[in-house]
Amino acid sequence: MDRFIIHGGRPLKGEIVIGGAKNAGLKLMVAGLLTSERLILSNIPRIADMATMRDLLCQHGIAIEDVTEDGSTCSIGGEITSTEAPYEIVSKMRASILVLGPLLARCGVARVSLPGGCAIGTRPVDLHLKGLETLGAKIHLENGYINASAPQGLHGDKIILPFASVGATENLLMAATLAKGRTSIINAAREPEIADLAECLTRMGAKISGIGSSTLVIDGVEALHGAEHRIMPDRIECGTYACAAGITGGDLLLKGGRADDLGAVVRTLEETGVEVFQEPDGLRVRRTGALRGVDIMTEPYPGFPTDMQAQFMAMLAVAEGASMITETIFENRFMHVPELNRMGARINVHGSSAIIRGVHALSGAPVMATDLRASFSLIIAGLAAHGETILSRVYHLDRGYEAVERKLSACGAMIERVRD
Ligand code: UD1
């Protein structure tokens, strides 16, 4: 297992190119299941989760070919030869559940392993299943698998989501593109990655209105066709490097970053004392004054994203005054707290809230990554800490961040990967 060794205390200065969005790219690859023609995706991030999705699609029979040598553009297409998503892959990556709706819509049958819990919570998939049942699917759970069938095809209907789940919205949106008649998804999640998916589906011939809103209306079509689509920039990667610039008192141009996708994050950065400017080729972030404590509550988009919570916590650990972070999306997403406290932070968790009392400085320590975003919060802390931080279990980070050490080193950080 690889480790990172970080020597903190150097302000980050320079440019970082923001890659394609993980949370859009994974679903856009799945959209390839909805047509026998070729879907060409560009701006593909080179991260482990995309490779896992590639493995999953390949075992469904789909051929994936690199169009460019660097693998940043690929073509997806072919006939589906297996409608089963096995436990070995689904347990590795929860987003695998997204193949359920498309397989069902295209083939009338699907068998997908139940994802089970994960480090940040129990994460049930009941909303995905109830929504598909509303569209006419018969579902039964057996031996840890979801067995779904719709021999006559899916039919459009009105689905009201009790919670604006990102994954359920995407699964149902993709299934509805090939259902007979009209589907409305009420209280749909509004994350920009869903709009990116909907735009790609539209290019493939889907009829979708209300893109970007909480009501999606889909008129099913007989078949979708091939298309080309560029994956949107990763707003969470962008926000993450913004926190790294903030904590180190740096000045970074995050190339490709878009303030429009990051409303609540930009506002919160500004409240903490980090300046943010949209420039023609990206987002500039810098801090010259003091960092100030703020209160944050995670919410579905356009609220503050749960995927940015850990990174802000690291930054607030050295801010003036106290901050409070309340996590409303996942029940167990404070696993970075004991690790940050080992680096000298003063953070107490009370139920779903964490109180962060700013300290003057953090000190380097051996720490352990527990999930994707928590891992980066420890890097952010390490970049500002006195002395050496050794972060183990870096594989969590490799799932969703591309070339972390290269991007940070190019901006002056002292960070090195040690391979075991
Ligand atoms: C997606 C993102 C993840 C992000 C999350 C919230 C991907 C690959 N992952 O995850 O990075 O943190 O959105 O922005 O895009 N829930 C249910 N029943 C369901 C579905 C969800 O109870 O059927 C609950 C979950 O347990 C969780 C909450 O709803 O507590 C949010 O989940 P959801 O919005 O579905 O997140 P994901 O799509 O899993």
Using alpha carbons, select from 358, 299, 290 the residue that is nearest to residue 327. Answer: 299
The ligand 1 atom at the shortest distance from the C-alpha of residue 236 is 11
Ligand 1: residue whose CA is nearest its atom 35? 165
Based on the residue annotation, tell me whether 243 is a catalytic residue of this protein. Answer: no
Best residue for ligand 1 mutational test, from 126, 146, 163 (most atoms within 8 Å of Cβ): 163
Tell me the average pLDDT across 229-254.
98
Tell me the average pLDDT across 357-381.
96
1: confidence class by pLDDT, cuts 50, 70, 90: confident
The confidence score (pLDDT) of residue 123 equals 79
The confidence score (pLDDT) of residue 420 equals 79
Ligand 1: residue whose CA is nearest its atom 7? 23
Using alpha carbons, select from 5, 72, 76 the residue that is nearest to residue 40. Answer: 76
Residue-wise pLDDT for 9-55, tens only, equals: 999 999 999 999 999 999 999 999 999 999 999 999 999 999 999 99
Residue-wise pLDDT for 43-82, tens only, equals: 999 999 999 999 999 999 999 999 999 989 999 998 999 9
Plot region of 249 (φ>0 → left; ψ -120 to 50 → alpha; else → beta): left
Tell me the average pLDDT across 377-389.
98
Instruction: List CB contacts of 177: < 8 A, sequence separation 6 or more.
Output: 34, 105, 201, 204, 206, 207, 208, 218, 220, 221, 224
Tell me the average pLDDT across 331-358.
96
Distance separating alpha carbons of residues 254 and 251, to the nearest angstrom: 10
Asked if 24 and 200 count as a contact pair (C-beta separation under 8 A), the reply is: no
Name the active-site residue from 118, 238, 243, 411: 118
The ligand 1 atom at the shortest distance from the C-alpha of residue 300 is 14
Ligand 1: residue whose CA is nearest its atom 5? 166
Distance separating alpha carbons of residues 116 and 97, to the nearest angstrom: 11
**Cα–ligand 1 centroid distance for 205 (angstroms):** 27
Rounded percentage of the chain residues whose pLDDT exceeds 70: 99
**Cα–ligand 1 centroid distance for 119 (angstroms):** 13
Tell me the average pLDDT across 408-418.
98
The confidence score (pLDDT) of residue 332 equals 83
Average pLDDT, the chain: 96
**Cα–ligand 1 centroid distance for 166 (angstroms):** 6
Ligand 1: residue whose CA is nearest its atom 3? 307
The ligand 1 atom at the shortest distance from the C-alpha of residue 164 is 34
The ligand 1 atom at the shortest distance from the C-alpha of residue 128 is 23
Residue-wise pLDDT for 147-174, tens only, equals: 999 989 999 999 999 999 999 999 999 9
Q: Where are the alpha helices (DSSP H) in 32-181?
A: 48-59, 87-90, 100-107, 126-134, 166-176
Tell me the average pLDDT across 212-222.
98
Ligand 1: residue whose CA is nearest its atom 21? 165
117: confidence class by pLDDT, cuts 50, 70, 90: low
Asked if 49 and 26 count as a contact pair (C-beta separation under 8 A), the reply is: yes
**Cα–ligand 1 centroid distance for 139 (angstroms):** 21
**Cα–ligand 1 centroid distance for 165 (angstroms):** 5
- Which residues surround ligand 1 with Cβ inside 6 Å? 23, 26, 94-95, 121, 123-128, 163, 165-168, 189, 305-307, 329-330
User: Both tokens of residue 305?
Assistant: 């994203």
The confidence score (pLDDT) of residue 369 equals 85
Distance separating alpha carbons of residues 228 and 53, to the nearest angstrom: 19
Q: What is the pTM of this model?
A: 0.97
Distant-in-sequence contacts of 401-408, Cβ < 8 A, 24+ apart = 401/47, 401/237, 401/240, 401/372, 401/376, 402/19, 402/45, 402/46, 402/47, 402/237, 403/46, 404/4, 404/376, 404/379, 405/4, 407/16, 407/17, 407/241, 408/12, 408/16, 408/244, 408/379, 408/383
**Cα–ligand 1 centroid distance for 190 (angstroms):** 12
The ligand 1 atom at the shortest distance from the C-alpha of residue 125 is 23
Distance separating alpha carbons of residues 301 and 191, to the nearest angstrom: 5
Distance separating alpha carbons of residues 311 and 291, to the nearest angstrom: 14
* pLDDT tops 90 at residue 363: yes
Residue-wise pLDDT for 78-108, tens only, equals: 899 999 999 999 999 999 999 999 999 999 9
The confidence score (pLDDT) of residue 364 equals 98
* pLDDT tops 70 at residue 118: no
Tell me the average pLDDT across 242-260.
98
